[in-house]
């Protein structure tokens, strides 16, 4: 039984499919478990609630090693502990590939849930967490850097050993961000206490997810790249090093920040007169109109992850 002290529960669910959301040759079972839990726990925090419990369903091939499954479950438990939640139950089944389905529950502690629909013209837009790192890590792994060695890519796989020590550490941190995101769980309830009018977990991409807020609230969100691309929100040095190693042009790293996703930062809108609490970075404002602009122009590239895009 999971207690709901104020009589209300927030709930969210997410499905991870091997080959689509993770690869076993890129991530160990503990990291996969932590990532699976984090994706759901971050959604609870984005509603302003404190995570309380997860329900976990696992489908897997019959020949999957028991030790792999135990490490997966251990990763889920560790991430739950970091957010103050527990695993309350679940189910198992056989399948041709590994699939993890999680439902997360949270307690609002007497507060009203924050949704995507409350942003108002005049509000400021702010983010807490990290942006761009996970997307860069994914692109490094896709290029054969930092994961298992795909056939014919040995020289590029060893490129991580080529940069100087600091740069190698920067690149490794990006790969780690893809494997195991670190959502700022306490920031969700904290934002409620500072009057957040709308909030969302940045999972599909900053522009894509803030687009949901703009659509749901019937407003335009105006972002400024100079405010976004700054520490501690964006690890610019690490992203620039990854872009150079991958031979990406100019400020390609900014695309990871704006449309990469998978870092599970939190984005929210706040009344301008109060602003966000400490630890949040203001990146723009809410105005009359529709959609998203970056530096005064409508964003025309891909806004983020699309589940059914070929």
Q: What is the pLDDT of residue 153?
A: 38
Whether 58 and 100 have beta carbons less than 8 Å apart is answered as: yes
- In terms of DSSP bridges, do strands 297-298 and 265-270 run parallel, antiparallel, or are they unpaired? unpaired
d(CA 229, CA 234): 6
What is the arithmetic mean of pLDDT over 246-269? 91
What is the 8-class DSSP label of residue 36?
H
Q: Is 286 helix (H, G, I), strand (E, B) or coil?
A: strand
> 5-45: per-residue pLDDT in tens?
778 899 999 999 999 899 999 999 999 999 999 999 999 99
pLDDT band at 49; cut points 50, 70, 90: very high
Q: What is the pLDDT of residue 200?
A: 98
Whether 49 and 188 have beta carbons less than 8 Å apart is answered as: yes
Q: What is the mean pLDDT of the chain?
A: 90
3-state secondary structure 130-174: CCCHHHHHHHHHHCCCCCCCCCCCHHHHHHHHCCCHHHHHHHHHH
List, in sequence order, every residue forming a beta bridge with 297; answer none if it has no partner.
Answer: 294
Q: What is the pLDDT of residue 147?
A: 57
Per CATH, is 10-107 categorized as 3.30.1490.110? no
pTM: 0.90
Q: Exposed, middle or buried: residue 307 (CB in 10 Å: 0-12, 13-18, 19+)?
A: exposed
Residue 128 has pLDDT above 50, yes or no: yes
- CATH topology for 124-298? Phosphoribosyl-aminoimidazole Synthetase; Chain A, domain 2 (3.90.650)
d(CA 270, CA 48): 13
Q: Which of 100, 130, 81, 94 has the alpha carbon at shortest distance from 22?
A: 100
d(CA 182, CA 34): 9
Whether 87 and 53 have beta carbons less than 8 Å apart is answered as: yes
pLDDT band at 146; cut points 50, 70, 90: confident
Which tokens is 23 given?
């690869």
pLDDT band at 257; cut points 50, 70, 90: very high
Q: Which of 207, 24, 192, 27 has the alpha carbon at shortest distance from 107?
A: 192
Return the domain boundaries, the chain: 10-107, 124-298
> 191-250: per-residue pLDDT in tens?
999 999 999 999 999 999 999 999 999 999 999 999 998 878 999 989 999 999 999 877
Which tokens is 121 given?
């013209």
d(CA 160, CA 41): 32
């Amino acid at each position: 039984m999971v207690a709901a002290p104020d009589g209300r529960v927030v709930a969210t669910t997410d499905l991870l499919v091997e080959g689509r959301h993770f690869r076993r040759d890129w991530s160990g079972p503990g990291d996969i478990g932590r990532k699976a839990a984090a994706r759901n726990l971050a959604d609870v925090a984005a509603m302003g609630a404190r995570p309380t419990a997860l329900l976990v369903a696992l489908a897997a091939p019959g020949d999957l090693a028991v030790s792999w499954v135990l490490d997966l479950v251990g990763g889920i438990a560790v991430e739950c502990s970091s957010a103050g939640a527990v695993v309350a139950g679940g189910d198992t089944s056989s399948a041709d590939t590994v699939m993890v389905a999680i439902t997360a529950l949270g307690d609002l502690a007497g507060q009203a849930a924050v949704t995507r629909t409350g942003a108002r013209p005049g509000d400021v837009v702010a983010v807490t967490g990290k942006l761009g790192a996970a997307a860069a890590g994914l692109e490094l792994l896709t290029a054969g850097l930092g994961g298992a060695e795909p056939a014919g890519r040995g020289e590029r796989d060893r490129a991580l050993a080529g940069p100087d020590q600091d740069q190698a550490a920067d690149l490794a941190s990006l790969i780690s961000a893809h494997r195991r995101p670190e959502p700022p769980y306490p920031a969700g309830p904290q934002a409620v206490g500072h009057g957040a009018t709308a909030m969302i977990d940045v999972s599909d991409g900053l522009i894509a997810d803030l687009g949901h807020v703009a659509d749901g609230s019937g407003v335009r969100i105006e972002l400024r790249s100079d405010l976004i691309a700054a520490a501690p929100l964006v690890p610019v040095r690490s992203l620039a090093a990854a872009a150079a190693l991958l031979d990406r042009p100019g400020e390609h790293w900014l695309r990871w920040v704006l449309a990469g996703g998978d870092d599970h930062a939190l984005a929210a809108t706040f009344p301008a007169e109060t602003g966000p609490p400490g630890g949040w970075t203001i990146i723009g404002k809410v105005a009359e109109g529709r959609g998203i602009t970056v530096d005064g122009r409508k964003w025309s590239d891909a806004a983020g992850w699309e589940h059914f895009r070929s």
